[in-house]
Structure 1
Amino acid sequence: MHIFNPKDWKMFTKSAWLVVSIVGLFLVSYFLFILPIIENDLLEGKRKDVSHAVEVAYGIIDSYNQLAENGLISEEEAKQTARKVISEIRYNNDEYFWINDYDLKMIMHPINKALDGTNVASIKDANGVRMFQTMADVVKSEGSGFVEYQWMNPTSKEVESKISYVIGFKKWNWIVGSGMYLTEVQEMLTSLRNNVILVLLIVALIAVIAGYYFAVIISSPIKSLNNAASKVASGDTNIKVDYNSKDEIGELTNSFNLMVGNINNSIEEINQKSKEAETATIEAKKAQQIAVNQQEYLANNTSIILQEMEKFANGDLTVNVKAENSDDEIGKLFNGFNKAVNNIKEMIKRVQEAVQAAASASSQISASSEELAAGSQEQSAQASEVATAIEQMATTIMETTKNVTGATENAKNAGSIADEGGKAVIDTINGMERIADVVKKAAETVEKLGASSDQIGEIIQVIDEIADQTNLLALNAAIEAARAGEHGRGFAVVADEVRKLAERTTKATKEIASMIKQIQEDTNGAVQSITTGKVEVEHGKELAKKAGNSLKLIIESSKKVVDDVTQVASASEEQSTAAEQISRSIEGINSVTQETAAGTQQIARAAEDLNRLTENLQQLIDAFKIDHNYSSAVNNHYTSKRYLN
């Protein structure tokens, strides 16, 4: 039953039972251990007293025996005297000595003289013990010893316990003994027991009073602590126990007050954390909505820019993306993309114009070369005719004059044609330089496109870093949700969704970065192609310069021919004498004409090379669509047709 469970007792009950237990334990210890020890000590004292007394009587007997042995008295006289002296000795008021022999014959009994001379072997005490026989047995076996028995007390006239000490005197065959009644010991024990019980009762009463006092002192603050703890358990933490003491209860009270203070602080902190958790939940919802909006915004704009990039990759330069917000990173990305596309579009237009100009110049060079070749052939034929005419010059002065006049006109025509060829070559060189400038600008524009792609890559890196920060924010939010415990469970779900969004954003930025890298590679390829075209243009410029130099020589030679023919016309009268000189001049003219023909062939080949270069460059441009009506390929087709026609 719970009533006997000490753990369920009140503090006062425990204190009272503690006092009762201590007093009861002392009583039990006294009666079971201390009192028997005292009784043994008293009995041992009695034993010593009676043994000492018997030893005195033994000494008397021995002294008289010495007298007899010394011959001072006879043995019988010594026995009689010793018997008489011993019979008269008393100690402890009433205690006496008796003497019997080894055969159990009573020699002397000062109290019961009727026993003198009788055999006491058959005498028994109240318990049926033959005490004299026992005494004789002890003396015979050990020489001396104690014997306890019941014997009539002459004072109280009652049978009482008695202890006797006997010792044998073998010389005379005597056994002398004496005993003491244990009544005194019992009375002393009873008195001591009663006194101890009285003292213990007084001590117990004092202990109970003191225990009650201390129980009240101990239980009162404990009750206060218990009541305060009950209130704290009920939720009332605005409580303080007043108990000023340096004992354990005082320390317990201080610890309790400190604990209540810590609980109050914890409650305030929990309330604060709860408010923070609610605020964090609201912020998380806002962040979630922002993240959803950003996700939708990013997904829509990513889809838009991917579609436009696909068109751009297919050569459509009419693409243009409109940003919802030009101030954010997506808007900057769209603007950068539009700027790059516009730069490439302008570059393609300029290249297209340069190609058209180059095609036109090439056509003009080709036509001029054909005319120059025809003139050279005609001049060569005329030179042959002049050579033939030299043979007939003597007889046909008039015919020579006509031929010289015709040669003059042809030389003028050849000079004009050569002059036009020189201008065409200069125009070609200028066109080549413009093409080189356009190609250079195209290369710079494409390089700017590469730089814009790098900027787009940096923007993608910023978006990736934003995703990483969002992921870190989601991780911190998950940690705060874990700290908030049950209140932060919903916040943890939100944090997990934010983390997933950050992962998807990171994946999308990586895909965009891969596309940007491909665009950069394509841009680098375009730069290399344009660089190659630039080299070919420089080569064309060199060829055109060579053609220009050749035409310059042709012009100078033509002027020289005109001068020579003029001199021939003015000195026709001297033709007969200067036929040999005219022949040499005609040979020089023929040589110059052949050189002119060779120069025109080189110009023609340079024009063909220039046409091939412009065709290659046109094929590169054909891949781009620069407006919504028709592509550059269509433009170039009609332009080429126009020039060819």
Structure 2
Amino acid sequence: MSIRWKIFIPIAITIFGYLLLMVVLTSTTVSGDMIEQNEQFAEIYVDEIHAHITSFYTETERQGEILRNDVERRLEELVQSVTGMLQGLHQMELDGDLTRAEAQEMAVEQINNMWFGLDGYFWIDTTEHINVALPPDPSVVGTSRFDLTDRRGTKIIQEMVSSSLEQGTAWVEYYFPKPGESEPSLKLGHTRLFEPWNWVVGTGEYIDNIEEELQAIRQESIRELNTSLYANLSQDNYPIIVNSEGEFVAYVDQSVVGTNPNFADALSGESLNDLFQES
């Protein structure tokens, strides 16, 4: 299944080796040959560190992709569990144990009580776009959601219903308020058609919930990166890594990681942060 939504963890990294900075600062006190030798060594060293960073970045991306796939798989399983419950009630209808109205009433009652996670819930709309269940806002039940449109112009229910009718399931990314909130948040919705009753059953996950998990992965990767980079280095020669916003991603004093301190050349007073940004 193709992923219709993308979340990127920006880890654009600019590298400048501290050894190279030391060469610049001491260039007036060493021979030209020594300067050239130090510069060559620094270039090799920075290349090695760059390869190390690339490896960590690739692993972080891989973990993020695993998380995104897990979220989609979880949404699929949740919706399938509900349609399985509906199938059981429908079978009771076919067996004559329940009328359709009784079976559907029991289904809606169960749906209204099936909350999960921080703000997860299920909803049901008919193939005619009439809402059957929406636990956060029961006042919507019985009304048409045909014209429901988010701030980007996405026809939310129309897309869910049409894709579910055509393909059996649908994936729609849209803006919708979290329970108890009025401001819409970006959400990934998954729906599945329950054909016997012409119902479209859905659930979803808010993107910022997923981003929080991705951020936790990123922070753990940065901690591992700092540990591996500085485990066997001296206090005199070590790399400095900053991101595109000037924040320290890796530094020998790990208390400054995630901050944007204004380091300056001890002799000239020139901002080293500007030098990092130019690299």
Scaled by the length of structure 2, the TM-score of the pair is: 0.66
Deviation at 1:128, TM superposition (A): 1.7
Residue 125 (structure 1) aligns with: 150
Post-superposition Cα deviations, 1:21-54, rounded to whole Å, max 9, x if no partner, equal: 22233334544x4333322211111111111111
Task: For 1:50, give the aligned amino acid.
Answer: L
Deviation at 1:161, TM superposition (A): 2.3
Given the alignment of the two structures, is residue 53 of structure 1 paired with residue 78 of structure 2, yes or no? yes
Contact in 2 for aligned 1:169/1:175 (Cα 8 Å): yes
Deviation at 1:139, TM superposition (A): 0.5
* Candidates 181, 188, 209, aligned match of 2:213: 188
Given the alignment of the two structures, is residue 165 of structure 1 paired with residue 194 of structure 2, yes or no? no
1:301-340 superposed matches below 5 A:
none
Task: For 2:48, give the aligned amino acid.
Answer: I
Deviation at 1:144, TM superposition (A): 1.2
Q: Which secondary structure does the structure 1 equivalent of 2:190 belong to?
A: strand
* Candidates 142, 155, 170, aligned match of 1:145: 170
Deviation at 1:209, TM superposition (A): 2.7
Structure 1 95/194 Cα, relative in aligned 2: closer, same or farther at 3 Å? same
Residue 69 (structure 2) aligns with: 44
Residues of 2 paired with 1:141 and 1:189: CA distance? 33
Contact in 1 for aligned 2:124/2:199 (Cα 8 Å): yes
Contact in 2 for aligned 1:101/1:107 (Cα 8 Å): yes
Residues of 2 paired with 1:19 and 1:67: CA distance? 71
Task: For 1:147, give the aligned amino acid.
Answer: V
Deviation at 1:210, TM superposition (A): 8.9
Task: For 2:173, give the aligned amino acid.
Answer: E
Given the alignment of the two structures, is residue 23 of structure 1 paired with residue 49 of structure 2, yes or no? yes
Given the alignment of the two structures, is residue 67 of structure 1 paired with residue 107 of structure 2, yes or no? no
1:486-565 superposed matches below 5 A:
none
Given the alignment of the two structures, is residue 89 of structure 1 paired with residue 114 of structure 2, yes or no? yes
Residues of 2 paired with 1:128 and 1:22: CA distance? 48
The root-mean-square deviation of aligned C-alpha atoms, in Å, is 2.7
Residues of 1 paired with 2:152 and 2:34: CA distance? 55
Deviation at 1:66, TM superposition (A): 0.3
Q: Which secondary structure does the structure 2 equivalent of 1:107 belong to?
A: strand
Identity, % of aligned positions: 22
Structure 1 200/100 Cα, relative in aligned 2: closer, same or farther at 3 Å? same
Contact in 1 for aligned 2:119/2:178 (Cα 8 Å): no
Contact in 2 for aligned 1:15/1:211 (Cα 8 Å): no
Residue 197 (structure 1) aligns with: 222
Scaled by the length of structure 1, the TM-score of the pair is: 0.30
Deviation at 1:199, TM superposition (A): 3.0
Q: Which secondary structure does the structure 2 equivalent of 1:86 belong to?
A: helix
1:390-539 superposed matches below 5 A:
none
Contact in 1 for aligned 2:124/2:133 (Cα 8 Å): yes
Larger-gyration structure (1/2): 1
Deviation at 1:212, TM superposition (A): 4.6
Q: Which runs of 5+ in 2 are unaligned?
A: 1-22, 24-32, 239-279
Q: Which secondary structure does the structure 2 equivalent of 1:201 belong to?
A: helix
Residues of 2 paired with 1:8 and 1:146: CA distance? 62
Q: Which secondary structure does the structure 1 equivalent of 2:202 belong to?
A: strand
Post-superposition Cα deviations, 1:273-309, rounded to whole Å, max 9, x if no partner, equal: xxxxxxxxxxxxxxxxxxxxxxxxxxxxxxxxxxxxx
Residues of 2 paired with 1:168 and 1:84: CA distance? 19
Task: For 1:45, give the aligned amino acid.
Answer: D
Residues of 2 paired with 1:157 and 1:199: CA distance? 39
Deviation at 1:88, TM superposition (A): 1.0
Greater RCO between the two (CA within 8 Å, min separation 6)?
Answer: 2
Residues of 1 paired with 2:103 and 2:231: CA distance? 66
Given the alignment of the two structures, is residue 134 of structure 1 paired with residue 159 of structure 2, yes or no? yes
Structure 1 34/160 Cα, relative in aligned 2: closer, same or farther at 3 Å? farther
1:365-404 superposed matches below 5 A:
none
Contact in 1 for aligned 2:168/2:193 (Cα 8 Å): yes
Post-superposition Cα deviations, 1:356-384, rounded to whole Å, max 9, x if no partner, equal: xxxxxxxxxxxxxxxxxxxxxxxxxxxxx
Residues of 1 paired with 2:182 and 2:62: CA distance? 30
Residues of 1 paired with 2:55 and 2:154: CA distance? 34
Task: For 1:190, give the aligned amino acid.
Answer: Q
Post-superposition Cα deviations, 1:334-371, rounded to whole Å, max 9, x if no partner, equal: xxxxxxxxxxxxxxxxxxxxxxxxxxxxxxxxxxxxxx
Contact in 2 for aligned 1:104/1:132 (Cα 8 Å): yes
Residue 60 (structure 2) aligns with: 35
Identify, as 1 or 2, the structure richer in helix.
Answer: 1
Q: Which secondary structure does the structure 1 equivalent of 2:197 belong to?
A: coil
Structure 1 138/207 Cα, relative in aligned 2: closer, same or farther at 3 Å? farther
Structure 1 200/106 Cα, relative in aligned 2: closer, same or farther at 3 Å? same
Contact in 2 for aligned 1:15/1:212 (Cα 8 Å): no
Post-superposition Cα deviations, 1:173-210, rounded to whole Å, max 9, x if no partner, equal: 10011111122221121122123223323433346539
Residues of 1 paired with 2:182 and 2:50: CA distance? 39
- State the number of aligned residues: 207
Contact in 1 for aligned 2:64/2:217 (Cα 8 Å): no
Residues of 2 paired with 1:208 and 1:48: CA distance? 43
Task: For 1:125, give the aligned amino acid.
Answer: D
Q: Which secondary structure does the structure 1 equivalent of 2:196 belong to?
A: coil
Identify, as 1 or 2, the structure richer in strand.
Answer: 2
Contact in 1 for aligned 2:119/2:179 (Cα 8 Å): no
Residues of 2 paired with 1:34 and 1:155: CA distance? 37
Residues of 2 paired with 1:126 and 1:27: CA distance? 39
Residues of 2 paired with 1:134 and 1:203: CA distance? 48
Residue 477 (structure 1) aligns with: none
Deviation at 1:84, TM superposition (A): 1.0
* Candidates 19, 40, 59, aligned match of 1:14: 40
Q: Which secondary structure does the structure 2 equivalent of 1:27 belong to?
A: helix
Residues of 2 paired with 1:45 and 1:74: CA distance? 38
* Candidates 174, 182, 192, aligned match of 2:199: 174
Deviation at 1:157, TM superposition (A): 5.6
Deviation at 1:107, TM superposition (A): 1.1
